[in-house]
A and B are shown apart, each in its own frame.
Chain A
Amino acid sequence: MRFTKDHEWVEMEGDVAIVGITAYAAEQLGDVVFVETPEVGKTFKAGDGFAVVESVKAASDVYAPVSGEVLEANTALGDAPETVNAAPEAAGWFAKLKLANPAELEALMDRHAYEAYLDTL
C-alpha cells in the first residue's frame, strides 16, 4: 500500500489500483454520512478531486492519488457510508483505477514513511 500527504492510499491488485482514504483521514473526518464516488470511465490526473466525503459538519474533497481511468466505484458506500469509518483501508475503498502512469506510484510514501509523516502533523 502507498500513501499521499493528503491521506489517500493506493493498493495494486494486478494492474488495477484500488484507492481510498487512510484510517487517519477517516478519524479526522469523523462519522461519514455521505460519499460521492467517481463515475466509471472518467479519467483523473493525480491530485484532481475525484470523490467527496461528507461528515455531519462538512464536505471534504478526496484527491486522486495517481492518474488513471475509473474502472469501478464502490457503490456500496452509497447505502453504507459508515464503512469508510469501520474499514477505511479495506471495505471502505472508493474506486478502482487503470493507471495512466505506473511510475507515479514510486513517488508515493510507503507505510513506514507515511507513519513518520503522520508523526510530524
Chain B
Amino acid sequence: MSEKPLLTTPLHSAHLALRARMVPFAGYEMPVQYTEGVLKEHLWTRQHAGLFDVSHMGQAKLRGADPLAAFEAVTPGDFRGLKPGRQKYSLLLNGDGGVVDDLMAGRPDNDGLFVVVNGACKENDFQVMAKALAGQVTIERLENRALLALQGPEAAKVFTHYAPETAKMVFMDIRVMTVWGIDLIVSRSGYTGEDGFEISIPADMADDVWNILLSNHEVMPIGLGARDSLRLEAGLPLYGHDLDETVSPVEAGLTFAVNRNRREQANFPGAARVARELAQGPARSTVGLKVLEGAPAREGAEIADAAGAVIGVVTSGGFSPVLKQGIALGFVPPAHAAIGTPLKVIVRGKAQAAEVTATPFVPHRYVRKA
C-alpha cells in the first residue's frame, strides 16, 4: 500500500461535525456511516430521502469539434444520438472489450459532454480518454466542483421546493440551473434504485447546499456503507468488484449499454468480442443470487451447482436490509444463469442454498414520466 496522504472532499468538516465514521475510500477520507449506522441509513433512504457526498467521483467536461462523435471511439453508446438535456450510462472499454470504468455522460447544456466517472478510476480514465481522443477533445477536469446525491421517494418533494424546474425532469434528464444563486448541474439519476438527483456544485458552495438540504426533516446524511447496500439491492454493479478490465459488457449483463447502431457499426473497442459473445454466449454471466439460508455470501465466496461442483464466484454480496436475507451478484456459466436455478454459495466452508434471482432485487422507482 502506498502511504499517500488521503484527500478530502469539500464536505470533510461537515462529516466530522456529524460524527461520521471516516474510512479511506478511493484515495479519500470518506464517511462510511453517520451515527444512525448502515442499516437505519439504508432503510431511511428507501422510505424518505438520503443525502450522499460523492465528491470523490471524477467530473469533467469534454469539448471539441464534435465531442459526442469522439466519445464513441472509447464507449459502445450512441452518443451522436444523445439529445441536449439527457445523459447516458456507459462503459469505457479497453481494446479487448474489458470495462475500464462505468460512467455517466450527459449534455446539461450545449457546451460539450459532461462526464462523471468512479473516484478510484478517475486518474486512469481521463488518461485513457486523453490518449484515445487526442486532437479531438480537450478534457477539463472539474476538480473545483463537489457532487451530492439526494436519493429516495421524498427526494423530489424536497428538491423541487428549491428548484421547481426539476419537477419536469425525468430519469436521466440533466440540466444546468441556478438555485440559491448557485450554478448547479443537476441530473435525475443516482446509484440506489430510488428516484433522486445528483447535484454538481462549486466546491466553495457545497457546505451551504449540504446544510440547506439536511435542514429538511425528510433528509438524513447517508454514508458509503449504505450506498453500497442500496446499489446492491438495486442490482447495480460496483467497479473493481463486479466489473474490471477482464469483464465484457455481455458478461456483466450490461448489453443495454451497447446501442444497436453501435453493434452494427462494430467500431468501438472490443466490438469483435461483444459480437462473438452475443452470438455464441459469453464464458460467464453475471447473475443475482438470493441466499436462502445461513450467513450472507460476500465477495470471493465460491458458487457451486446443486451437486456441489464449484462453478463461479460472488463478486459482491451482503445482507439486504429490505429483503432481510443475503443477496449477491456473481459470475456463473450461462448454463446455470436461468432465473430460479438452485445453486449453493460456500461461506466459511459451508454450502448454503441459493437461487438465481432477477435483478434488481428491490424494484427501481425511477420517474420516467413527468
Q: Does A100 contact B (CB under 8 A)?
A: no
20 contacts between A and B (CB under 8 A): A30-B37, A31-B38, A33-B321, A33-B324, A34-B295, A34-B296, A34-B319, A34-B326, A36-B348, A52-B348, A55-B38, A56-B38, A56-B225, A56-B229, A56-B321, A57-B32, A57-B225, A59-B295, A59-B296, A59-B298
Interface code B273-296, partner A: CB below 8 Å = 1, 0 otherwise? Answer: 000000000000000000000111
B39-83 CB contacts (< 8 Å) to partner A: 39-40, 42
> Contacts A31-B40, A33-B324, A34-B295 given; 5 further ones with Cβ under 8 A?
A36-B348, A55-B38, A55-B319, A56-B229, A59-B298
Contact indicator A56/B319 (Cβ below 8 Å): yes
Partner of B228 from A30, A33, A57 at Cβ < 8 Å:
A57
Q: Does B192 contact A (CB under 8 A)?
A: no
Contact indicator A56/B295 (Cβ below 8 Å): no
Q: Does B193 contact A (CB under 8 A)?
A: no
How many B residues have CB within 8 A of the partner chain? 21
Shortest 8 CB-CB distances between A and B: which pairs? A31-B39, A30-B37, A33-B319, A56-B38, A57-B225, A56-B319, A56-B229, A34-B295
Q: Does B33 contact A (CB under 8 A)?
A: yes
Query: Of all chain A residues, which has the CB nearest B229?
Result: A56
Contact indicator A56/B348 (Cβ below 8 Å): no
Residues of B within 8 A of A (CB): 32-33, 37-40, 42, 225-226, 228-229, 294-296, 298, 318-319, 321, 324, 326, 348
A57–B319 alpha-carbon span in the complex (Å):
8
Contact indicator A30/B39 (Cβ below 8 Å): yes
Interface size bracket, A side: 10 to 19
A42-90 CB contacts (< 8 Å) to partner B: 52, 54-59
Contacts of B33 in A (CB 8 A): 30
Query: Of all chain B residues, which has the CB nearest A32?
Result: B39
Residues of A within 8 A of B (CB): 30-31, 33-34, 36, 52, 54-59
Q: Given the interface contacts A36-B348, A56-B225, A56-B229, does A30 sit within 8 Å of B38 by beta carbon?
A: yes
A42–B20 alpha-carbon span in the complex (Å):
40
Contacts of A57 in B (CB 8 A): 32, 38, 225, 228-229, 318
Contacts of B225 in A (CB 8 A): 56-57
Distance from B229 Cβ to chain A, minimum over Cβ atoms (Å): 5
Contact indicator A54/B37 (Cβ below 8 Å): no
Contacts of A30 in B (CB 8 A): 33, 37-39
A31–B226 alpha-carbon span in the complex (Å):
12
Partner of B39 from A36, A56, A58, A59 at Cβ < 8 Å:
A56
A30–B20 alpha-carbon span in the complex (Å):
13
Distance from A39 Cβ to chain B, minimum over Cβ atoms (Å): 11
A72–B228 alpha-carbon span in the complex (Å):
36
Distance from A37 Cβ to chain B, minimum over Cβ atoms (Å): 12
Contacts of A31 in B (CB 8 A): 37-40
Contacts of B298 in A (CB 8 A): 58-59
Contacts of B229 in A (CB 8 A): 56-57
A55–B33 alpha-carbon span in the complex (Å):
12
Distance from B119 Cβ to chain A, minimum over Cβ atoms (Å): 18
A36–B33 alpha-carbon span in the complex (Å):
24
A36–B298 alpha-carbon span in the complex (Å):
15
Contacts of A54 in B (CB 8 A): 295-296, 319
